Amino acid sequence: MKRKALALGLALVLSMPLSMTALAASSSTSNNSGNQTQETQQPAKETPKSVDEVVKSTPAGGAVKAENVTLAVAGADGTAKATTLNAVVGDKQTEVKAVVAAVAARPGADSVQGAATVNNMLTGTASPQFTATVVALAETKGGSMVVNKMGSVKTAAVAKDALGNTIASAGVVEHVTSGSLIMWMSVNVAGSIEYVEGVVDPVTGAVMGAFKGTPSIITVLVLA
């Protein structure tokens, strides 16, 4: 009797590893099969929209994807051509780097020449402080200077100043502080584009600028 019980116990012990191995193999095969049939879903690509459509669907101060905003820009021949906000901003980044490189190539140039060169970056007149900062950046950084795109937003708020300019706010923009050299690009309600210098409100931290038109979408650039 004892021999039979011992033999039965030994048979059970010997069979356990085989059963466990078979179970593990079955589980592994099932998992692999599941992995093979699993598909990664890619997010649907957004359809580009006009400036008006984006403005209507975005809250004040809300982020805007520049690559999904379409607008018409006059080409060299004067003909309006469809493009994206992202492409226009990219062209401006390249242009600003070229202007700074031109300033760096003429170290010690008089203030009139420096101001005239820097003014080429803007649609208005650069302030003496903005001009001096760009010149200093050109002299210290030269070709290594970068133009960082900090994002595009629907205008957060607007108001008129005593000179008739439109003071627009983009709200608080991450990583943009009072020490930043800021340049704005605005797509205005009337369809025009402006490039102006920007400042950070010392109280609210909001990025602000003065425009001739009324900005609908603002892109914030920082020169560094």
Provide the pLDDT for residue 111: 66
- pLDDT tens column, 72-98: 888 778 888 899 999 999 999 999 999
Strands 215-223 and 181-188: antiparallel
Provide the pLDDT for residue 104: 86
- pLDDT tens column, 160-182: 999 899 999 999 999 999 989 99
| Model confidence at 22: pLDDT above 50 | no
pLDDT band for position 41 (cuts 50, 70, 90): low
- C-alpha 151/C-alpha 58 separation (Å) is 14
| Model confidence at 221: pLDDT above 80 | yes
Q: What is the mean pLDDT of residues 98-121?
A: 81
Q: Which one of 44-58, 130-144, 207-221 scores highest in mean pLDDT?
A: 207-221
- C-alpha 224/C-alpha 133 separation (Å) is 10
Provide the pLDDT for residue 170: 96
pLDDT band for position 142 (cuts 50, 70, 90): confident
- pLDDT tens column, 129-138: 999 999 899 8
| Model confidence at 55: pLDDT above 90 | yes
pTM, two decimal places: 0.76
pLDDT band for position 116 (cuts 50, 70, 90): confident
